[in-house]
Amino acid sequence: METLITILTGVLVSVATYLILSRSLIRVVLGTAVLSHAAHLLIMTMGGLKTGGVPILGGEDGEAYVDALPQALILTSIVISFAVTAMSLVLAYRTYQATGTDKLNEMRGIKHE
């Protein structure tokens, strides 16, 4: 199971790398979003998968729980990546409006005013 998820993480990272290296601004933003999801999956996997029950109060006594910390960590980092993605979408949109292009190579050479 861990191996499978690790491979999936790798696939996500390669997709994200491809997107970030492209010239379109919106693809770069999407790439960063995919990249952060790859990191979340990796944190999840590092805590160990399917080693016990759901870590919620009120389960059966003596039941083994999975480590709850990685879940708390990725919840936090999902919130953060949500904020960052939102921020970068707005910024990309404003950049597109101001420069009239979303191609990174066409933005080269804008002078300091």
Residues near 95 by Cβ (< 8 Å), separated by ≥ 6?
25, 102, 107
Choose which of 26, 93, 103, 105 interacts with another protein (CB under 8 A). 93
Q: To 10 degrees, what angle do helices 69-99 and 25-46 make? A: 170
User: Does 7 participate in binding another protein (rule CB under 8 A)?
Assistant: no
User: Does 66 participate in binding another protein (rule CB under 8 A)?
Assistant: no
User: Does 19 participate in binding another protein (rule CB under 8 A)?
Assistant: no
Contacting another protein within 28-57 (CB under 8 A): 28, 32, 35-36, 38-40, 42-43, 45-47, 56-57
| Angle value at C-alpha 105, between 102 and 107, nearest 5 degrees | 65
Q: Give the integer Cα–Cα distance in Å for 12 and 34.
A: 7
Which residues in this chain contact another protein in the complex, by CB under 8 A?
20, 25, 28, 32, 35-36, 38-40, 42-43, 45-47, 56-58, 69-70, 73, 75-77, 79-80, 83-84, 86-95, 97-99, 107, 110-113
